[in-house]
C-alpha cells in the first residue's frame, strides 16, 4: 500500500516567485497499469480540483484496502503558475503571462522528439514495442530543459504523463453541460466513460489543431503505426479532456458524485476492486468535432439568450439576441444570433457583455460543417 504526496518547488524567474507544485502517487509503482489525472491546467477552470479532492479520498481508502490494481498519479491543481495569475482582483489563468500562449496549446509533438529514432528498434512483439517507445519517452522527458519556471513545470508533468495508460485532463467550459473531447480511435471506450460521467456529448477529432494536452499522448502511437505498418503497435493510452460543466459548477455534492462516477468507470476498467461506486447511464453516441458549431458574436453587444442549456435546436433557430451598444441604433436594435446547425446547445457565455467574435454558444450536431476549418478548438 502506498499513498505518497510529492512536493516540488519551481524556481521563479524573478525574486520571490518560487511556486509549489504538489501531486500524489497512490498504489504500487510496479502495478501493470498507470492512470494519470490532472485538473486546472486552465487554472481558471476549477471544478476538477474539488472532483480530484474527492477522488483522492476514494483512492486512499481503496489503497488501504488493497483494492487498487493500478498506480494512480493525481495532480489536483496541475498549474500553480496559472493559479497565481491574478490581475486587478480578477483571476485569469488561461494563458501563460510571459508568452501569451494558452496553457492547453502547443504541447510537444512527440513523434518529432523521439519517433524517427524508434523505427529501427521495433520488433514483432507488441508488448516489447510498447516498452521501447515508453522508455524513449521517459528519456526524452528527463532531458527536457529546466531553465524557466514554465519549463520546470512542463518537465514534471510530461515525466508523469508520458508512460501512462490513461491520461484524463479535467477542465470545464463557461456555462455548460458536461462533455468530453477525445480521438476517434477511442470512441468505444469514451462511450463507456460518457455513460459513467453522464456526459451530454462526446466529440471526436484526431487533431483539433492546437496541440492540446490530451491529444499529444496518443498521437505518437498513431503516427508510429502509420510509419511502421509491419510492426505491431497497438494504441496503449486512453486519453481525453473531460469538461465538467461550467466555471461556477464547483459544489460539494455535485463534484463528489462526479468523483464517484469516475471511480466507477475505473472499476469497470478493472483498475480498482471492491464495492461498486457511482452509476452508469446511457449517454449519446460520440460525434465528429467538426459537426460542432462555435456560434460567435458578429459585433460587441449585450446577450439575451432565447434558449436554455441542453435545448435541442434546428438550423436557423434563434439562440440569442445581441443588444447593440453603439451607433445610431444603440440600445434599440437587437441582432438575432441564429443556429448554423441542428443539434444540442451544450454551452453558453456566462458573461453577457461580449465583443466581436466572442464565443456565444456551442451546438453539438451531426452534420459536418465545412466552415470549421482545421482549428477546431475555441480560444
Per-residue pLDDT band for 292 (boundaries 50, 70, 90) equals very high
* pLDDT cut 90: percent of the chain above it: 93
Q: Which tops the pLDDT comparison, 378 or 73?
A: 73
DSSP for 225-267, written as a single string = HHH-TTS------EEEEEE-S-TT---HHHHHHHHHHHHHHHH
Q: For the chain, what are the domain ranges?
A: 3-285, 289-372
Specify the range with the lowest mean pLDDT, choosing from 46-55, 90-99, 194-203, 227-236.
90-99
- State residue 379's pLDDT score: 75
- State residue 224's pLDDT score: 96
The sign of the dihedral angle between the CA atoms of 107, 112, 117, 119 is positive
- State residue 356's pLDDT score: 96
Task: Give the C-alpha separation, 178 to 186, whole Å.
Answer: 18
> What is the pLDDT averaged over residues 269-286?
96
CATH of segment(s) 3-285? 3.40.630.10
Task: Give the C-alpha separation, 23 to 122, whole Å.
Answer: 33
- State residue 367's pLDDT score: 96
Per-residue pLDDT band for 126 (boundaries 50, 70, 90) equals very high
pLDDT tens column, 65-103:
999 999 999 999 999 999 999 999 999 999 998 888 899
Fold of the domain built from segment(s) 289-372? OB fold (Dihydrolipoamide Acetyltransferase, E2P) (2.40.50)
Per-residue pLDDT band for 234 (boundaries 50, 70, 90) equals very high
Amino acid at each position: 500500500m502506498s499513498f505518497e504526496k510529492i512536493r516540488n518547488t519551481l524556481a521563479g524567474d524573478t525574486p520571490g516567485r518560487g511556486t509549489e507544485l504538489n501531486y500524489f502517487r497512490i498504489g504500487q509503482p510496479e502495478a501493470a497499469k498507470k492512470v494519470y489525472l490532472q485538473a486546472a491546467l486552465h487554472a481558471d477552470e476549477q471544478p476538477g480540483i474539488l472532483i480530484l479532492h474527492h477522488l483522492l479520498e476514494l483512492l486512499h481508502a481503496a489503497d488501504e484496502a488493497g483494492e487498487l490494481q493500478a498506480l494512480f498519479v493525481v495532480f489536483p491543481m496541475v498549474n500553480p503558475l496559472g493559479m497565481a495569475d491574478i490581475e486587478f482582483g480578477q483571476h485569469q489563468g488561461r494563458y501563460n503571462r510571459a508568452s501569451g500562449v494558452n496553457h492547453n496549446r502547443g504541447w510537444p509533438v512527440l513523434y518529432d522528439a523521439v519517433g524517427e529514432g524508434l523505427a529501427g528498434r521495433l520488433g514483432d512483439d507488441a508488448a516489447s514495442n510498447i516498452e521501447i517507445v515508453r522508455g524513449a519517452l521517459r528519456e526524452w522527458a528527463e532531458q527536457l530543459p529546466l531553465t524557466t519556471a514554465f519549463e520546470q513545470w512542463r518537465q514534471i508533468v510530461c515525466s508523469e504523463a508520458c508512460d501512462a495508460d490513461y491520461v484524463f485532463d479535467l477542465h470545464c467550459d463557461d456555462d455548460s453541460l458536461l462533455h468530453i473531447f477525445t480521438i476517434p480511435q477511442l470512441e468505444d471506450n469514451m462511450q463507456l466513460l460518457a455513460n459513467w460521467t453522464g456526459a451530454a456529448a462526446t466529440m471526436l477529432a484526431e487533431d483539433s489543431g492546437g496541440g492540446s494536452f490530451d491529444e499529444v499522448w496518443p498521437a505518437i502511437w498513431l503516427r508510429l503505426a502509420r510509419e511502421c505498418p509491419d510492426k505491431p503497435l497497438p494504441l496503449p493510452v486512453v486519453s481525453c479532456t473531460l469538461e465538467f460543466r461550467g466555471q461556477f459548477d464547483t459544489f460539494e455534492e455535485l463534484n463528489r458524485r462526479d468523483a464517484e462516477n469516475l471511480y466507477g468507470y475505473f472499476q469497470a476498467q478493472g483498475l480498482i476492486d471492491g464495492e461498486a461506486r457511482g452509476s452508469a447511464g446511457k449517454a449519446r453516441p460520440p460525434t465528429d468535432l467538426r459537426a460542432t458549431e462555435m456560434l460567435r458574436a458578429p459585433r460587441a453587444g449585450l446577450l439575451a439568450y432565447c434558449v436554455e442549456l441542453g435545448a435541442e435546436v434546428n438550423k436557423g433557430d434563434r439562440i440569442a439576441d445581441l443588444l447593440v451598444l453603439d451607433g445610431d441604433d444603440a440600445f434599440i436594435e437587437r441582432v438575432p444570433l441564429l443556429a448554423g446547425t441542428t443539434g444540442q446547445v451544450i454551452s453558453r457565455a456566462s458573461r453577457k457583455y461580449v465583443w466581436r467574435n466572442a464565443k456565444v454558444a456551442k451546438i453539438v450536431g451531426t452534420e459536418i460543417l465545412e466552415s470549421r476549418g482545421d482549428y477546431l478548438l475555441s480560444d
